[in-house]
Structure 1
Amino acid sequence: MKALVLAGGSGTRMRPITHTSAKQLVPVAGKPVLFYGLEAIAEAGITDVGLIVGETAAEIAEAIGDGSRFGLRLTYIRQERPLGLAHAVAVARDFLADEDFVMYLGDNFLLGGITEVVEDFRTGARHDARILLSRSADPTAFGVAELDGDGRVIGLEEKPRHPKSDLVLAGIYLFTPAVHEAVASIRPSGRGELEITDALQWLIDHGRSVHSSVISGYWKDTGNVPDMLEANRSVLETVDAVQEGYVDGASTVTGRVRIGAGAKIVASHVVGPAVIGPGTEVIGSSIGPYTSVSEDCRIEDSEISGSIVLRGCVLTGVARIEESLIGRDAEVRRSRGVPTVHRLVLGDNSRVQIAS
C-alpha cells in the first residue's frame, strides 16, 4: 500500500503567512503540521509515499528531505496548479500504479493516527474506497457525506448550501485502483477543479462500494488561523515537561513545559502547557499557557499567551499578545500609548510598532 500526501495548496486562508511560506510547515506545538501526517503514515506501516508539491516545493523539500527521518521513501510529484484533489490523484497516476493507497491532506491534523483504519482497509471487508468523516457545526465549508443505516455512503456534495448531514470529509481517504477510472471520468466543477467528492460519487453511481468511518477523536483542518491555534492547543494538552535548556533561579516554570536545547529562561514566568523552542531566549517576560514559541526567538519584557510564534521572531516590551500567529523573523516592539490586548496575524519579516 502506498500513500499520497498533498502539500501543494496555496493556503489563501492563511495569508499573509502563506505569502512567504508553505501552510503545511506552520508549526503546531513546535512541529510542522505536515510532519504529524507523515509520522501517522509511517506508524501505519506505509513506507512508499508520493508528496504532491506546488510553488512551495523547494521549502518543503528542504524541511523533509528524502523522508528517511520519518522512515519513509519519498517521491516528489509536481502539481503545477492546485486544480483539485482528484487532479492530484491524476497527476500521481504513474507513482500510484495499480496499488491501494491512502490520500492524506498535508494541512489536516488528526490525533490518534490512521493505523487502525489502514489495517482494516487492508485486511477487512473489501471496499473500493473508504473515507474518514467528522461532525462539523458548519458543514457548508467542507465536502459533506450522506450515509445509509449501515454506514455506506450514498451521496456526497462539495460545500453545499443546504447540507444533508453534519458529517464532513476529514481529508483522509483510502482507495483501491478503482478510483483512477472515476477520476478519468469526471469533469471540472463550477470552481474549475476536479473534485474528489465527484470521483467518489461516480464510484457510488456505478455500483462501487464506498464505506466510511466517523472519527471519534480530535480532527482539524488547519487551513485558517483560528483552526491552527485550536490544533496547537489540543496538541499542547499532550506534551510532557522536558527541560533541555537553562532556567535561572529568578524564573518559574509551572505545568507541562517543553524547553528546547540552548533555550534560556531568565527572570521570567512560563505557564504550561507550552513549548519554548531551541535557542530561544525569554527574558523578563510572561509566557502563558497554550503558547508555542519556535527556535531562535527573543521575547523580552513581554507577555504572550495562546499563540504560535515562528522562528526568529523578536518581541520586546509588548503587553499583551493573545491568540496570535506571528510569522518568521517578525519584530513586535513597544510604542507609546495606552496598554491594551493585541491580536495579530503577521507575515514573515513584518515590522510592527504597537501601543503597549
Structure 2
Amino acid sequence: MKGIILAGGSGTRLSPSTDSMNKHLLPVFDKPMIYYPLSVLMLAGLKEIMIISTSEDTPRFKKLLGDGKELGITLAYREQTEPKGIPEALTIAEDFIEDDNVTLMLGDNIFYGQGFTTTLRNAIKNHRHATIFGYRVKDPHRFGVVEFDHHKKVLSLEEKPDDPKSDFAVTGLYIYDHRAVQIAKKLQPSARGELEITDLNKEYLKWNHLDVELLGRGFAWMDAGTQQSLFEASEFVKTTQQRQGFKIACLEEIAFYMNYISKEALYEKGKSMEKNDYGQYLIEIAERKHSEQYWDSIDHHPMLGVVEND
C-alpha cells in the first residue's frame, strides 16, 4: 500500500494568508497543516508516501520534511502544474503507485478520535477495491454525500445535493486498488473544469466495488480549508492537547512509537528544538519510553491507539 497526500491548489478560500504561502504549510495551532494528513498515513502503517503540490511550493515541503529519513519513512514529491481535481493526483503518481493499492488523502483534512488507528488499519487490511469514509454532518448539502443501507452497502453518491439522501459526508480519505489510475484517466472534467472524485467513486459503485467505513461518535473530522475552519481546527487541537497532555499529529512521536526511529534520534530531534514546547515534548517522550506509565498512557492515545507493527 502506497500513500499520497494532495497538497496543491491555489488556496483562494484562505486568501490573503495563502497569497505567498501554500495553505498546507500554515500552522494548525503548533504544527504545519501537512503534519496532520502525514500522521494519518504513518499511523496506517504506510512507509512510502508521495506529496503532490505546486511547482512553487514543492521545494518548501522538501525543506520541511526532506526525504522522510528522519521519520523512518520514504517521502517522494511530484508537482501539479494547475489544480485539475483530486483524481489527477492518481495520474500524476502513476509511476509511484505502479501495481500497488493506494491511500489518497487531502492535505487539509484532520482526523481525530479514539480507535481511529484501528479503524483505518482494519479498513486497509480488509480493503477490496475502493473504500471511502463517511462522517455525519449537520449540513450535508455542502458536501459529497454517501447513501447506504443497514448493511453499510453503498447505494448512491451525490455531490452537494439540494435534498441529501443521508447526513453522512464523504471525507477526504480514500483507499483504492491500482485500477484507480486508469479510471481517473478516463474521467471527463465537470462543469467547473475539474475531475471530480465523486465521479471516480461512482465508477467503483457501478461495479458494486465501493465500500464505506463510518466514523461515528467520538471521532472528529475537520476540513481546514477556510479561515473559520482553520481557526476552529487550531482551537480544537490546542484544547485537546492541553487537556490530555498528548500532542496530535506529532510525527516524531509516531515514528518512535512504531519503531521507525530510535530513542536517541527522538531525543536529539527534541534537543534541536528544546527552546519550544514541541521540542520539550519530544525530549519528555524519549525519556519516558521504558517507563510503565508511558506505555499505559500510549495504549489509550486517541491518535495512536494499540498499533501492532508489521
Deviation at 1:261, TM superposition (A): 4.7
Distance of 1:40 and 1:277 partners within structure 2: 21
2:132 — aligned with what? 131
Corresponding residue for residue 67 of structure 1 = 68
The question of 1:227 aligning with 2:229 is answered yes
Task: Work out whether 1:183 is the aligned partner of 2:194.
Answer: no
CA distance in 1, matches of 2:194, 2:85: 5
In 2, the alpha carbon distance for the partners of 1:154 and 1:208 equals: 11
Tell me which protein shows more strand as a share of its residues. 1
Instruction: Specify the alignment match of 2:99 in structure 1.
Output: 98
Q: Deviations over 1:166-195 (max 9, x none)?
A: 211111111112323422332111111111
The match for 1:322 is: none
Q: CA RMSD in A?
A: 2.4
Q: CA separation in 1, counterparts of 2:119 and 2:205?
A: 20
Residue 36 (str. 1) matches residue 36 (str. 2): yes
Shift of 1:114: 5.1
Partners of 1:44 and 1:114 within 8 A in 2? no
| Contact 1:105–1:171 under 8 Å retained in 2 | yes
Question: Residue 46 of structure 1 aligns to a residue in which SS?
Answer: coil
Supply the AA of the counterpart residue of 1:229. F
SS in 1 for 2:4: strand
Q: What secondary structure is seen at the aligned counterpart in 1 of 2:158? A: strand
In the TM superposition, 1:324-343 aligns within 5 A as none
- The 1-side partners of 2:235 and 2:151 are apart by 35
* Closer, same or farther: CA 59–169 of 1 in aligned 2, 3 Å: same
Name the larger-Rg structure: 1
Amino acid in the other structure paired with 1:42: M
Count of residue pairs the alignment pairs up: 249
Residue aligning to 2:250: none
Instruction: Answer whether contact 2:201 2:210 (CA < 8 A) is retained.
Output: no
Any stretches of 5+ residues in structure 2 without a counterpart?
Answer: 246-272, 281-310
Please, what TM-score do these two structures have when normalized by structure 2? 0.74
Deviations 1:14-55 (A, max 9, x none): 110000111111112210121122122222211000111114
SS of the residue 2:236 aligns to: helix
Q: How far apart in 2 are the matches of 1:88 and 1:196?
A: 10
TM, length-normalised to structure 1: 0.65
CA distance in 2, matches of 1:149, 1:160: 21
Give distance in 2, aligned partners of 1:150 and 1:74: 38
Select 1:237's aligned residue among 236, 239, 245: 239
SS of 2:203's equivalent in the other structure is helix
Q: Cα–Cα, structure 1 residues 23 and 215, in superposed 2: closer, same or farther, change >3 Å?
A: farther
Larger RCO, structures 1/2 (Cα 8 Å, 6+ apart): 2
Take 1:98 and 1:85, find their aligned partners in 2: how far apart are those partners?
20
Equivalent runs, 1:155-234 vs 2, <5 Å: 155-216=156-217, 217-234=219-236
Q: 1:222 to 1:233 in 2, by over 3 A?
A: same
Question: Which structure's residues are more often helix, by fraction?
Answer: 2
Decide which moves more: 32-41 or 106-115.
106-115
How far 1:6 sits from its partner (Å)?
A: 0.7
Partner of 2:24: 24
- Tell me the alpha carbon deviations over residues 189-222 of structure 1, each in whole angstroms, 9 at most, x when there is no partner: 1111111110110111133233332343111000
Q: Distance in 1 between matches of 2:208 and 2:185?
A: 17
Q: CA distance change for structure 1 residues 114 and 58 in 2, over 3 Å: closer, same or farther?
A: farther
